Structure 1
Amino acid sequence: ALDDAVAVPEGFTYEAINWLRYAEPAELLFAAVTGSQLDRWYRDNRFCSRCGHPTELGPRSREVVCPECAKITYPKICPGIICGIVDCSEGRERIVLTRYNGRTTALWALVAGFTEIGEPLENTVHREVMEEVGLRVKNLRFYKSQPWSFSDTLLVGFWAEVDGSDEIRVDHEELKEARWFTRDEIPLERTRDRVSMTGEMIEQFRLRGREVLG
Structure 2
Amino acid sequence: MIQDIGNHTYHVEYHPVPLAQDGILLSYQGRKVLVRITGEKEFTYPVYSDYADVDRGQFRWLFAEDKAQFYLAKEALPERDGFAYVSINFMRAARPRYLAFAGIAGLSLHNWYSNHIFCGHCGRPMAHSESERMVHCDYCHTMIYPRICPAVIVAVRHGDKLLVSKYAGREYKNIALLAGFAEVGETIEETVHREVMEEVGIKVKNLQFYKSQPWCFTDTLLFGFFCDLDGDDTLKVDHGELATAGWIDRQDIPEDTEKASLTMEMMTLFKQGVY
Give the TM-score normalised by structure 2.
0.70
Q: Which amino acid in 2 is paired with 1:205?
A: F
Aligned partners of 2:151 and 2:230: how far apart in 1? 22
Q: Quick check: 168-177 or 138-147, which moved more?
A: 168-177
Contact 2:208 2:226 in 1 (8 A): yes
Alpha-carbon distance in 2 for matches of 1:181, 1:25:
33
> In structure 2, what residue type is equivalent to 1:177?
T
1:6 alignment partner in structure 2: 78
- In structure 1, the residue matched to 2:208 is 141
2:161 corresponds in structure 1 to 94
Deviations 1:62-111 (A, max 9, x none): 111112222211111111000000112xxxx1100100112465110000
The residue identity in structure 1 corresponding to 2:259 is R
Determine if the alignment matches structure 1 residue 187 to structure 2 residue 187.
Answer: no
The ranges of structure 1 where at least 4 consecutive aligned residues each deviate by more than 3 angstroms after the TM superposition are: none
Summarize the alignment of residues 92-171 of structure 1 with structure 2, pairs less than 5 Å apart. 93-103=160-170, 105-171=172-238
Task: Give the 3-state SS of the residue equivalent to 2:105 in structure 1.
Answer: helix
2:33 matched to which residue of 1? none
2:177 corresponds to 1:78: no
How far apart in 1 are the matches of 2:128 and 2:136? 6
Secondary structure of the 1:192 match is coil
Residue aligning to 1:18: 89
Give secondary structure in 2 for the equivalent of 1:98: strand
Count of residue pairs brought into register by the alignment: 203
Contact 1:145 1:156 (C-alpha < 8 Å) held by counterparts:
yes
- Tell me which of 196, 202, 207 is aligned to 2:272: 207
1:25 CA drift (Å): 2.3
Name the CA distance, whole Å, in 2 between partners of 1:104 and 1:83: 20
Q: CA–CA distance in 1 between the matches of 2:186 and 2:172?
A: 31
- Are 1:77 and 1:153, in contact at CA under 8 Å, matched by a contact in 2? yes
**1:86 partner SS:** strand
Of 149-158 and 44-53, the range deviating more from structure 2: 44-53
Q: Cα RMSD over matched residues? A: 1.4
Are the aligned partners of 2:92 and 2:100 in contact in 1 as well (CA < 8 Å)? yes
Structure 1 unmatched runs, 5+? none
Quote the residue 2:104 is aligned against. 33
Cα offsets for 1:150-192 (capped at 9, x unmatched): 001011110010001111221111111111111111134xx21
Seq. identity, %: 43
TM-score, normalized by length of structure 1?
0.90
CA apart distance, 1:8: 2.8
Deviations, residues 3-53 of structure 1 (Å, cap 9, x unaligned) = 24502322x331111221121222222211111100100010011122211
| 3-state SS, counterpart of residue 15 of structure 1 | strand
Unaligned runs of 5+ in 2: 1-26, 28-72
> Where does residue 65 of structure 1 map in the other structure?
136
Q: Whose RCO is larger (CA < 8 A, sep 6+)? A: 1
CA distance in 1, matches of 2:214, 2:108: 11
Q: Which has the higher strand share?
A: 2
State how far apart, in whole Å, the 2-side matches of 1:103 and 1:51 are: 34
1: CA distance between counterparts of 2:95 and 2:111? 23
Amino acid at match of 1:201: M
